[in-house]
Amino acid sequence: MQLAARARNIGASPTLAMNARAKEMVQQGIDVLSFTVGEPDFDTPIHIAETGIEAIKDGFTRYTPAAGIPELKEAICTKLKRDNNLEYEPSDVVVSNGAKHSIYNALQALIEDGDEVIIPAPYWVSYTEMVKLNGGIPIVIPTMADNGFKLTPEQLEEKLTDRTKAIFINSPNNPTGAVYAKKELESLASILVPRGIVIIADEVYEKLLYDGAVFTSVASLGPDVKEHTVTINGVSKTYAMTGWRIGYAAAPRALARAMANIQSHATSSPNSIAQLAATAALTGDQAPVQKMLAEFARRRELMVTKINTIPGMSCRKPEGAFYVFADVADLFGRTIRGQQINNSTDLAELLLSEAHVALVPGAAFGLDEFIRFSYATSTDVIERGLARVKNVLAEAQ
């Protein structure tokens, strides 16, 4: 059987694949400590979970409107107004099976064959692949650690062509935690908007901010920017609801309608029960979010401090999200237990086999000199995992 080129040209998501490998090894009885997938280790707050249980008991178990139930769309509009100063109406909102699906819908609705999509690197692993799956061409622009891993207007301008259709702006960023200041977003938008380039603003980590970092939603910069922006968000990271699979997009009406139509053919509505739970998440008590955030902040301190004591590794303090992107270039060319480390994948493989520590190589995010640790895991795992990494790397020759 001959598979379509689009299927032949992509592999599995590296974050999910590394997570699956770690889990498989654990099942085989190997004590693997995992820093792979970005998934809060907390339970979904109880009032949200109970709303889901009640939904099942009440028989709320049927198809819903393809773009989501009115209550949830209203709750999303209220949230966007309350938290982001954004005015959207329910018809501008499409609820999907996770924010990943929202991004996919947006690309389906926007990208023609050969359209170019700007992706600042490091980027979340699925952006490039989703662009390719939709016939587009990812135009990757590497950012610099000295600039806080943020795209500059000069870098952006250099890569624009008359085929540039869209750009991804992901703040707080996965994997670096970088948070764009309002002024920085304004400079980028002032280049993009006059050219009619669509901004795909992935804001899924907006609530995970540290040390007073301030989040600005791209569409809030002004009505003209809003007209060119699709805002992507979801409940997975903020409310520890990864398995419920609810994300959403808010977009100019015509784009939202197109995304809803596409979704109505591809997947129908998202899960009815999860939609009610997501409504409870957005409208209910926000105290659990602050509690989880406080715990992430503690883990971040611990992880950054520990990583910076490991010879050959260094990292900056991320301002947001729950990842540390550590520079490991100093280890390249060194040998440990007979294995030469030439790139981030070699290092990730070595740490998995020799230290039983799982993480995601920077190559998956478009910057090979780094590796990503997720600190959405316990302080105990962080302590023990980084001690193992340190011990194995101490053998580097």
Residues that bind ligand GLU (CB under 6 A): 13, 15-16, 37-38, 100, 124-126, 174
Smallest distance, ligand GLU to C-beta of residue 125, A: 6
Look up residue 383 and give its two tokens.
């302590």
Beta-bridge partners for 120: 141
Asked if 393 contacts 312 with a C-beta cutoff of 8 angstroms, the reply is yes
Q: Which is nearer to ligand GLU, 20 or 297 (CB)?
A: 20
Smallest distance, ligand GLU to C-beta of residue 376, A: 9
Look up residue 105 and give its two tokens.
């819908």
Q: Which is nearer to ligand GLU, 38 or 90 (CB)?
A: 38
Q: Which is nearer to ligand GLU, 126 or 220 (CB)?
A: 126
Count how many Cα atoms sit within 13 Å of the Cα of residue 68 in the half-sphere of its side chain: 34
Rounded to whole angstroms, the Cα distance separating 287 from 33 reads 29
Smallest distance, ligand GLU to C-beta of residue 312, A: 24
Rounded to whole angstroms, the Cα distance separating 208 from 233 reads 13
Q: Which is nearer to ligand GLU, 88 or 124 (CB)?
A: 124
Smallest distance, ligand GLU to C-beta of residue 163, A: 27
Tell the residue number behind the tokens 């764009």, with chain if given.
Answer: 180
Q: Which is nearer to ligand GLU, 115 or 202 (CB)?
A: 202
Q: Is the C-alpha dihedral spanning 252, 237, 362, 132 positive or negative?
A: negative
Distances (CA, A) of 183 to 85, 142, 188: 17, 20, 9
Rounded to whole angstroms, the Cα distance separating 72 from 94 reads 10
Q: Which residue is nearest to ligand GLU (CB)?
A: 38
Smallest distance, ligand GLU to C-beta of residue 70, A: 28
Q: Which is nearer to ligand GLU, 189 or 204 (CB)?
A: 204
Smallest distance, ligand GLU to C-beta of residue 126, A: 6
Smallest distance, ligand GLU to C-beta of residue 344, A: 15
Q: Which is nearer to ligand GLU, 174 or 220 (CB)?
A: 174
Q: Which is nearer to ligand GLU, 88 or 127 (CB)?
A: 127
Burial zone of 15 (CB within 10 Å; 0-12 exposed, 13-18 middle, 19+ buried): buried
Look up residue 189 and give its two tokens.
């938008």
Smallest distance, ligand GLU to C-beta of residue 100, A: 6
Helix (H, G, I), strand (E, B) or coil at 169: strand
Smallest distance, ligand GLU to C-beta of residue 41, A: 13
The count of residues in the chain is 397
Beta-bridge partners for 140: 119
Rounded to whole angstroms, the Cα distance separating 354 from 114 reads 43
Q: Which is nearer to ligand GLU, 174 or 238 (CB)?
A: 174
User: How far separated are the first and last CA of the chain, in Å rounded?
Assistant: 47
Q: What is the dihedral of CA 351, 344, 324, 137, to 10 degrees?
A: -140
Helix (H, G, I), strand (E, B) or coil at 291: helix
